[in-house]
Structure 1
Amino acid sequence: MNKKLTKIFTIVGVLFLANACTNLEEKVLDESFSTTVSEKDAANGVIAPVYALLPTIYQHTTYFALQEITSDEAILPYRGGTDWGDNGIYIELHKHTYTSNNANVRNTWNPLVQALSRCVTAISALPTMSDPNAKTYLAEAIGMKAFYNMMILDLYGIVFKKEDPGQVSEILRGPEAVEYLISELQRAEPNLLNKAAVGTGRLTKAGAWGLLARLYLNAGVYRDRYATNFDLKASDMDQVISYCDKIIASNEYKLSNDYFSIFGDKNRDNSEIIFAVDQRPELNGHNRMAYFSLSGDQFPLPAFPAANGTDGPAITSDFYRTWVEANEGGDPTKDPRFYQENLKIYSTGVDTCVAGADFKINRGILRGQQYGLIRVNGVFLKCADGKFKVGPLTNLTRNRPDKKVIFTEKVDFTPEGSDYPTGYRVEKYEFSAASNTGRNRGDADIIIVRLADVHLMRAEAQLRKNNAAAALTDVNVVRSARTLTKPAAPLSNITLDLLFRERGFEFYWEMLRRTDMVRFNKFEGTWTEKDNNDKNKRIFPIPQTAIDGASNLVGYLVQNPGY
């Protein structure tokens, strides 16, 4: 037993060598473990690292940056000429001028390949273990290896095939990569459990079905990344429909009647979420999505005067205009996904007094003059009755009390367009009540797959098979589901362009946009501060550090075209 557990935990106690990441090699950190560790603890210790890097991958500056800042939804200018400059890496992403030395590209790659390494380690160790959970854990490790590889394929155009930690990974591209990932997810699926048994933070049977549907939906893109027109085969669309049918027919999930509760501080038990990143603080999960876009003068929590926004990304005026167009030039707030008013906007100029327990900032896409708690010298102002004073915000934190926090539609990379107030902001995920700085303790689980996406993936597959009636039904099922407020009006017809627009409304800020734009042949388009139409930018370069780290293997890592 002692020798067995020592071997197991030698495998568990590893870290990936960042500059040798493409070889998926591992380094032993500690071989000294107690002989009293149970088989259950040993199995738990093997599977935990498989999921541990998900919060790092889904940080606002890693996967989010690659999926959203590169798209027509989000833009992150050099705020005020002092903030978020970062040597131009976010400007490069948005303008599609990124190179193999871009820090966001590298910092997303590194945890992905490290997570792959941990999956291979778990797959090697779990078959030798007698704990009853080991069979399920093995399926999860196989499925998660496929998921991480799927992300790498989508982002970087390659897949690492490996079963034994002692092997050098085989690199797959194109059709071979797609078929391998399909086979791996199908291999994992029979032994996965349902959500009731494991929760949202682990891969379930429905989670694997959702990933398979997503994989088949994009398979035509992945088989030929540079095609003028992607071959989105009817047989692939049949598989999308089949896997979506399985999820819907399971009756394990239902669309939430409250759109913003899906992204709430306590969304772990939300009925719509199929697979998500577990963000409990004790698991080192710090969802920063809520603070990323807010103004530095927006303070959402009366209990924490240090918790504010950072004046990060905004939506582009191009994306905003799609909402206006969909509402025939009217106010987009008719769509309950656009905005949720929790704090009444007081336009009289008279300050309002609010009890701390009643103060809650607005959600969704924020426009115009912002109102909230006013902090002076590190303390929130209060009214004579002891309640918190709420009024129009100014840039007090930047020593500019004369400058109002008014979010404007126009945002770009000019000095005027990149000033602190420019651009409509996004507060989709709720600001965690436990986050004393805004940069930590973000409790909301970050969504990977949810039921609305299942319906809209099935709608797209039906539409690509020329079954517009079935597609329209799925789209309107989602639009009509948000009954806590008045739901969005049903559409009378559906086209691919309308479906693309609908996916933008439903999934903005959820790290799906770049993938959608590529599949809908819109990624080479023109929008605010972006006119590069180079199709090589559909995938990112392999980081130069990774290529350098594999230089001892001649011809092993070949850079993607155009970099």
Structure 2
Amino acid sequence: MKSKAILLTLSILAGGAYSCKKLDVPVESQFVAGNFPKTLSDYNASLGAIYSNLSSQFAVPYWRMQTLSTDEAILPARDGNFDDGGQYRQLHYHTWTPDHPNVLTIWQWAYGGITTCNRLLNITNSFGFSDAEKANRLAEIRAMRALYYFFLLDLYGNVPLVTDYPVTGSPATQPRASVYKFIESELLALTPKLPAKSSNAATNTQQYGRPTKGLVYALLAKLYLNSEVYGGAARYPDVVRMADSVQANPNYSLDARYRDIFLPNNGPQIKETIFAIPYDQQIPGNQFTRFGFFYYLVNAYGFNVGLSIAMSTTPEFYARFNLPGDFRTTTWLAGPQFVPDGNGGFTSTPVYYPNTTTQININPVLTLVPPKPMDLGNTIATQSEGVRSIKYYPDPTIIQATRLNGNDVPVLRLADVLLMKAEAILRGASATTVGSELQTPLVLVNKIRARAGAQLATSITLDGMLDERARELSWEAWRRNDLIRFGQFETEYPLPNDVLKMDKSTFRRLYPVPTIELRLNSALQQNTGY
């Protein structure tokens, strides 16, 4: 939940901000004399469309594609409720089709953002800024365009590269490796033109949720860590180099308390945030409490609104939270429930089911009730199955009208960068010294563990890194990316009484091009297997 200044800067809706859903943008949507921004306020409102588009879909459909397709989260039906046409079980069992609603929504969302960026590049060049101001603003827009292309690269792989506005002709599908090279070249070109995280609080507030040098370095580290997945050669030394570039800025550091990163009042004061998406209760998108909380606990947490009781994690994923002293374990609700203490822990006061003296007890095991597919049933007992997440801590001011959280959602943060560096070294890169510290994988992992209060590791293997990332980055939309890189995206986690099977085809490491887009643009090529 942020100051109004940040929200106004990043979230003002410009006319038609998300109307350009297709690649063949109609000519009448161009800026002409009658609607060309005339004042700086008009221009900033147009620029805000890039960010309002980003927040509109990231924390729900984008997050679901990256997370519900893994062991990290599951959204089962409950006696038919929350089935929603089978879209969640299709993600869980890897049986989605080119007509899956999230597949279409996120394709259109990303290209809507890219179209807005391309349009604003034209506007910026014609607006009358000084050369220095123009360069800064063009760099910001291009960096956001590169981020949108990264989302497409990771999810769909082979996609059109559209850099002109208006679009002429029918943009053709480009190989994943070409999209990778485009993103890399854009980010490298922008590095000297973007601001760095500052020690000045006012400056950081102004920059918050906007691209900085740190975003470029961290996103390049992601590209290089996944280079072989994306069709390139191994780039592990470059991962280390980019991680060290982030650490070279002393204004990035691990926050003392893990929980602070995800509270409803998180924001520019979080030291390790590299790039986050701001949310408040009026900005569509952040619905973690609405979908992932446990309804019967609302009064204990200080609010009382209608929630869905639907989403949880799998027993296998929760089992990774097994380190003695690890605060991150308390970000899950499992077992007997107690009133929270307001400081990230719990009192000794039990919480009871309504109108009973029975303590609420959340069972990690998800036992299906056939014949309805991926259905738990809808009794009090079955509603209590599935570990719930309070990582994005429930907002006590949540209101019935929207049921939205005010927690910002981090996209890239320092802890992730340190874990990427550790993994890259385990994969063959050399350890480097930062300050006077030789940062071996064990040193880096123990930095993360120590902050969480977890028992320190005595050794670390590459396989162990996947569990370290699971514990630190749960529900931050990186699990699919990690599982694919580790060759484990096709691992199945059968539920008791399950009558369905996962499709373990490796072609599903990419999502398909949506059917409607193929019909609109004959130059598009469907991904293999669909």
State the TM-score, normalizing by the size of structure 1: 0.79
Structure-2 residue corresponding to 1:545: 516
Q: Distance in 2 between matches of 1:36 and 1:119?
A: 15
Q: Distance in 1 between matches of 2:116 and 2:321?
A: 42
Task: Judge conservation of contact 2:293–2:388 (CA < 8 Å) in 1.
Answer: yes
Q: Distance in 2 between matches of 1:494 and 1:561?
A: 36
Spell out the pairing of 1:103-252 with structure 2 (5 A cutoff).
103-131=101-129, 133-168=133-168, 169-196=171-198, 197=203, 198-223=206-231, 233=234, 236-252=235-251
Task: For 2:47, give the aligned amino acid.
Answer: I
Structure-1 residue corresponding to 2:7: none
Spell out the pairing of 1:409-558 with structure 2 (5 A cutoff).
409-414=364-369, 417=376, 419-437=382-400, 439-465=402-428, 467=430, 470-482=440-452, 487-529=453-495, 531-550=502-521, 554=522, 556-558=523-525
Question: What's the CA shift string for 1:404-458, capped at 9, x where partnerless?
Answer: 7421111154358453111111111022233212844522111100000010111
Question: By how many angstroms is 1:213 displaced?
Answer: 0.8
Question: By how many angstroms is 1:130 displaced?
Answer: 2.6
Task: For 2:491, give the aligned amino acid.
Answer: G
Spell out the pairing of 1:278-357 with structure 2 (5 A cutoff).
278-281=278-281, 284-299=283-298, 304-305=303-304, 307-324=305-322, 327=323, 334-339=325-330
Task: For 2:529, give the aligned amino acid.
Answer: G
Question: By how many angstroms is 1:521 displaced?
Answer: 0.4
What secondary structure does 1:337 align onto?
Answer: helix
Q: Which runs of 5+ in 2 are unaligned?
A: 1-13, 341-348, 432-438, 496-500
Task: Judge conservation of contact 1:15–1:26 (CA < 8 Å) in 2.
Answer: no
Task: For 1:187, give the aligned amino acid.
Answer: A
Task: For 2:470, give the aligned amino acid.
Answer: G
State the TM-score, normalizing by the size of structure 2: 0.83
| CA 1:271–1:438: 2 relative to 1, 3 Å | farther
What secondary structure does 2:488 align onto?
Answer: coil
Structure-1 residue corresponding to 2:22: 21
Structure-1 residue corresponding to 2:343: none
Question: By how many angstroms is 1:335 displaced?
Answer: 1.0
Question: By how many angstroms is 1:293 displaced?
Answer: 1.2
Task: Judge conservation of contact 2:210–2:275 (CA < 8 Å) in 1.
Answer: yes
Count of residue correspondences: 479
| CA 1:436–1:167: 2 relative to 1, 3 Å | closer
Question: What's the CA shift string for 1:85-120, capped at 9, x where partnerless?
Answer: 101110110011111111122222221111111011
| CA 1:177–1:421: 2 relative to 1, 3 Å | same
| CA 1:114–1:243: 2 relative to 1, 3 Å | same
Task: Judge conservation of contact 2:254–2:272 (CA < 8 Å) in 1.
Answer: yes
Task: Judge conservation of contact 1:25–1:117 (CA < 8 Å) in 2.
Answer: no
Task: Judge conservation of contact 2:300–2:339 (CA < 8 Å) in 1.
Answer: no
Question: By how many angstroms is 1:29 displaced?
Answer: 8.8
1:96 to 94, 102, 105: 94
Q: Distance in 2 between matches of 1:171 and 1:406?
A: 51
Question: By how many angstroms is 1:308 displaced?
Answer: 4.6
Q: Compare the two structures and name the one with the higher strand fraction.
A: 1
| CA 1:497–1:475: 2 relative to 1, 3 Å | same
Q: Distance in 2 between matches of 1:279 and 1:442?
A: 7
| CA 1:111–1:36: 2 relative to 1, 3 Å | closer
Structure-2 residue corresponding to 1:379: none
What secondary structure does 1:221 align onto?
Answer: coil
What secondary structure does 1:477 align onto?
Answer: helix
Question: By how many angstroms is 1:534 displaced?
Answer: 0.6
Structure-1 residue corresponding to 2:527: 560
What secondary structure does 2:226 align onto?
Answer: helix
Task: Judge conservation of contact 2:321–2:328 (CA < 8 Å) in 1.
Answer: no
Structure-1 residue corresponding to 2:264: 265
1:365 to 315, 327, 332: 332
Q: Distance in 2 between matches of 1:35 and 1:242?
A: 42
| CA 1:392–1:536: 2 relative to 1, 3 Å | same
What secondary structure does 2:460 align onto?
Answer: coil
| CA 1:295–1:280: 2 relative to 1, 3 Å | closer
| CA 1:106–1:495: 2 relative to 1, 3 Å | same
Q: Distance in 1 between matches of 2:27 and 2:470?
A: 40
What secondary structure does 1:161 align onto?
Answer: coil
Q: Distance in 1 between matches of 2:429 and 2:30?
A: 56
Task: Judge conservation of contact 2:172–2:524 (CA < 8 Å) in 1.
Answer: no
Question: What's the CA shift string for 1:254-295, capped at 9, x where partnerless?
Answer: 10111111001111021111100011456x255211332112
Question: What's the CA shift string for 1:50-85, capped at 9, x where partnerless?
Answer: 11111122132x011111111011111102x14211
Task: Judge conservation of contact 1:162–1:170 (CA < 8 Å) in 2.
Answer: no
Task: Judge conservation of contact 1:295–1:405 (CA < 8 Å) in 2.
Answer: no
| CA 1:166–1:414: 2 relative to 1, 3 Å | same
Q: Which of 1 and 2 has greater Rg?
A: 1
- C-alpha RMSD of the superposition: 2.8
| CA 1:65–1:286: 2 relative to 1, 3 Å | closer
What secondary structure does 1:138 align onto?
Answer: helix
Range with bigger deviation, 419-428 or 169-178: 169-178
Spell out the pairing of 1:9-88 with structure 2 (5 A cutoff).
13-15=15-17, 21-25=22-26, 27-28=28-29, 37-38=38-39, 40-60=40-60, 62-79=61-78, 81-88=79-86
| CA 1:395–1:96: 2 relative to 1, 3 Å | farther
| CA 1:51–1:232: 2 relative to 1, 3 Å | same
Task: Judge conservation of contact 1:336–1:488 (CA < 8 Å) in 2.
Answer: yes
Q: Distance in 2 between matches of 1:203 and 1:14?
A: 23
Task: Judge conservation of contact 1:55–1:286 (CA < 8 Å) in 2.
Answer: yes
**Identity value in percent:** 27
Question: By how many angstroms is 1:314 displaced?
Answer: 1.1
Question: What's the CA shift string for 1:104-149, capped at 9, x where partnerless?
Answer: 2222222111111101111121122233543322111111111101
Task: For 1:458, give the aligned amino acid.
Answer: K
